[in-house]
Amino acid sequence: MVSCLVIDEKVYAVKNMKRSVYYSPNEGKWGRKDQDSSSNLGIVSHCCINDKFLYACDSFGNIFWRKLDDLEWKKVKGLEDLRKLFPRSDAYYVGGIPSYDMLSRCYSKLINFGVNIVLVWFKYKKMDIWCAEISFERREVKCEVWGTV
């Protein structure tokens, strides 16, 4: 799944948190922004912009943030309980083998909701739809963002 958004008059397509491709209609050219390959961030379900910050959710329910002009993603702190509700969050290994839940698809989307963001997710082949409204507190001294459900 690819997330598309517009930042500073450029159209970005983001598939994972390490790389994004953009097109600048004003300049008529394509470009690319890459993050350090040592990063262990995974597949992005969806990205959204809120208050000059870019937020993304990975396939395990972790929410990350970065400033628009920065490439370094940082994890939003304080959302551990929310992550436990995500279908793939506790599905790392069962008896040393990846569990079925880890291999099944989960779809999620981040949506602007005023000054907050709403995370909506559902598991493929199930009818349960979940959502959580998240507010953010920026702590500039430590360069952290904390989320509250």
Q: Is the dihedral of CA 123, 124, 125, 129 positive or negative?
A: positive
Report how far apart the first and last C-alpha atoms of the chain are (Å, whole number). Answer: 25
What pTM value is reported for the model?
0.69
CB 55 within 8 A of CB 110: yes
Q: How confident is the model at residue 88 (pLDDT cuts 50, 70, 90)?
A: low
How many whole angstroms separate alpha carbon 113 and alpha carbon 115? 6
CB 44 within 8 A of CB 16: yes
Q: What percent of the chain has pLDDT over 90?
A: 15
Question: According to the model, what pLDDT value does residue 98 have?
Answer: 47
- pLDDT of residue 70 exceeding 70, the answer is yes
Q: What mean pLDDT comes out for the span 3-13?
A: 73
CB 104 within 8 A of CB 87: yes
Q: What mean pLDDT comes out for the span 86-114?
A: 60
How many whole angstroms separate alpha carbon 42 and alpha carbon 88? 13
Question: According to the model, what pLDDT value does residue 145 have?
Answer: 94
Q: How confident is the model at residue 90 (pLDDT cuts 50, 70, 90)?
A: very low
- pLDDT of residue 31 exceeding 90, the answer is no
The tens digit of pLDDT for each residue in 38-69 reads 444 555 557 788 888 888 887 778 899 988 77
All domains of the chain in start order, with CATH: 3-148 (2.40.128)
Burial class (CB within 10 angstroms; exposed 0-12, middle 13-18, buried 19+) of 37: exposed
